[in-house]
Each structure stands twice: as C-alpha cells, then as structure tokens.
Chains A and B, each alone.
Chain A
Amino acid sequence: MSDDIRSLTDRLAAEPSSLAFLELGEALRRRGQLEAAYKVARGGAGRYPGLADAHDLMARILSDQADLAGAFDSWSSALQLDPMRVSALKGIAFLYFRAGDAVAALDHLQRAAEVDPDDPSIVQAIERVRREVITAGPPPEAEASAPSPVPASPTVTSTPPTRSETAFDGVDGGEQGQLLVDSNGLRLGGTLARVDGFDASDRVAAELAGASREAARATRLLGLGGWHSIALECPDGHMVLSSPTADTVLLTVRDHSLPMARVGLLAERAARAARSWLERVG
C-alpha cells in the first residue's frame, strides 16, 4: 500500500463522514485497485447522495470496470446535480460514442465546450468525432488520451450501454429530475429525489393530477388558447411542467443554478423524448 493511500485510508477511518473518500477512491482507481475504489466511492456516494463529485468518481470507476451502463447512470446523476459539469458531459459523450451514437456524443461535447471553451481536449474530441462521423472509421480515443478531468478508461470495451430503454434516454440527467405522469396522477416514468434522498416521485405525481386540466381551463377562459408550459421559480430549484401528450404531464426539476430558460429548453427536449417513448410503448 502506498503512503498516500495509507494516509487517506487513515484519514477516512478517523473521520468516516469526511470527503477524504473522494481522494482515496481516485487514488485507488489510478492504481488499478478498482474493487477497493468502488467500495470507497459507493460508501461516499451513499453518505453524500447530493454531491456531484461522488457520482463523478463512481462513474469513472465503473467506466474502468467496463460497467458502461452504470457509468452512464452515475454521470447522469452528476449532471442532474450539476448540469454544467464538464467531466460528466465528456464522460457521457464518450459513452455515447462507444455506443455508436456520434450525434449525441457531439451534442454533449459541444455543451462541454460552451462551459469550458479553453479546454483543448474538448476541442480535439469534437474534431475527432466530426471526422469519425464523416469517415465512419474507428472511434476516437479522446477520453483515453486527452489530459482531461475524466481520466483514461483503458479497460473500457466497445460494448454499448445495455440498460433498458427509458422515457428519457439521451436527455441530460436521464430519469433523474424528470417525472412523467398520467391524467390520474400516476407515474409513468422518471424519478424525483429530494435533496435528503427521499424519493418524492409518487407523491409529486399525485399532486399533479388534474394540473393539465386546470391550466387548460385557466388559459382558455382568459382567451389565451391552450397551455404550453408552466415554469415555477423556487428559491432552491426550478420546475417546468409541460404536456408531452393530451393525457400526460411532464415535470422537469433542476437546481436553481441552472437558468430557467435553459430548464425550459431541457424540458422541451425531455417532452419530445417522452412523446416518442409513449408512442413506442403505448
């Protein structure tokens, strides 16, 4: 055991609630001790479910373990907590590319570039993906070779993510922070976890029963036609309610640090994904 890992292990043992698990997990991962790294990260993420760093660490370890579906979910969780997180955007871009979806990969890389235009590895990765899209050649190794916040994933295989299809595949944050509800207030898809980790999905879904009808009545009686969306600015979060179909409503919830207009754009994208999913499964 190296000195730094021993030191970090001692620190974590002395103070289990500290954030030393982040450094320890990363140190173990870099040394290839993936199982030990995973245990440390899982404990930390369980203790700090609202900490994007913890999910980011989990994603890197899972990616190294070739658990691409797990890595995708963890990076999605990190993005849900911190939508501007470049490492998660790059990680998901990497996974999309490995899964053969260059367009989604490019979309995530471009958003990463918007957040951090000075990161040369993102620019290089965008160029490589664009080239690959044109020539349909082998996948780029941007994630593995670039000096980026997402360290190399040398053990990753070319297996695409194998998780089952959800209503929000391809949407930032995936199922987290999205709630698709039928006209009876029953949840069709998505999950909504509170900051304290409590799963509020079904309760919120029940509160939304009839919201669509009420909104429709309000706008119609006021001579405003049908309703498109309802945006709520809360001091600690932003919510957008939309209606993917006549019988469903979709609630998109994000941290208040994400501007409301961007939550609106995200909600539109999620509504399109939900509509498409409903058509396939319905």
Chain B
Amino acid sequence: MSPTEAALDRVTRIPGVRGVLLVTGSDGLVVAEQLMDGVDGRAAAALTASLVGRLSRAAESAGLRPPAFVHVRGDTGSVLAAPAAVDLVLVAVVGPDANVGLARLEMIEAASRLD
C-alpha cells in the first residue's frame, strides 16, 4: 500500500466518514480518492480546494500562517480539510455523527506523512 493509500485508508476507517480525497490545492484535481456511493468526488475536490485557497489567503492577510486544518460545518455533515505537502490537500466528507475530533487528529497526522 502506498503512503497515499495508507493515509486515505486511516481516515476512511473512522466511523461517519463518507469519503476521503487527496486533491491539488491550485486546480482542485483529484489525486486519489476513497468515496462512498453518492459523494461527487470531483465537486468535492474542486470546491474544497477553492474554498481552502480563499480562506488561506484571508488568513495570510490577517497575518497568520496557512491553516493546518479547516472544518466546514453543514446542516447534515461536514467537510474537513488538512493541507499537506505543497499544493496537496487531504479532504474528508463526514456525516453529522462522525467523531470530528478523531478525524481531525488522523487527518493532520496523515497529511504530515504525505510531506
């Protein structure tokens, strides 16, 4: 199993996680994915990459360093993102009952291994 597959696999095992993707930050292309049926991987990749990029620029303008973790909370679940190596973002789509705290730890750890 490659480091990328291992990283995705660790996050996917967390209860409540519907899918995990590794995307490029600049253009939102999917590098690798493990998704449940019904999750549109390309949409998740493109939109999350764009949003994370915008928010990172806002953080930079505020004098902060780029985020290590981003949590977008929706009505029925969340999108989690952990920027990894240059121009890579680890993204997870999780349900409302997912343990976001555990997912956060695993994603930050997994993202650091991708560096």
A binding-site residues for B, Cβ under 8 Å: 192, 194-196, 198, 200, 203-204, 207-208, 210-211, 214-215, 217-219, 221-237, 239, 241, 251, 253
Is there an interface contact between A219 and B79, defined as CB atoms closer than 8 Å?
yes
Closest A residue to B52 by beta carbon equals A232
A-B contact pairs, 21 of them (CB 8 A): A200-B61, A207-B54, A207-B57, A207-B61, A208-B54, A218-B79, A219-B75, A219-B79, A222-B93, A224-B75, A224-B78, A224-B79, A225-B74, A228-B75, A229-B72, A230-B51, A231-B69, A233-B70, A234-B59, A235-B68, A239-B64
Q: A233 contacts which of B47, B48, B68 (Cβ < 8 Å)?
A: B68
Number of interface residues of B (CB under 8 A): 34
B binding-site residues for A, Cβ under 8 Å: 38-40, 43-44, 47-48, 50-51, 54-55, 57-59, 61-79, 93
Is there an interface contact between B68 and A215, defined as CB atoms closer than 8 Å?
no
Question: When A and B form their complex, what is the total count of cross-chain residue pairs whose Cβ atoms lie within 8 Å?
Answer: 123
Is there an interface contact between B77 and A224, defined as CB atoms closer than 8 Å?
yes
Q: A234 contacts which of B43, B48, B50, B65 (Cβ < 8 Å)?
A: B65
A218-B40 contact, Cβ under 8 Å, with A224-B74, A230-B71:
no
Is there an interface contact between B73 and A227, defined as CB atoms closer than 8 Å?
yes
A230-B62 contact, Cβ under 8 Å, with A211-B51, A215-B51:
no
Minimum CB–CB distance from B18 to chain A (whole Å) comes to 9
Minimum CB–CB distance from A244 to chain B (whole Å) comes to 15
Is there an interface contact between B70 and A230, defined as CB atoms closer than 8 Å?
yes
Q: B55 contacts which of A211, A225, A226, A228 (Cβ < 8 Å)?
A: A211
Is there an interface contact between B72 and A234, defined as CB atoms closer than 8 Å?
no
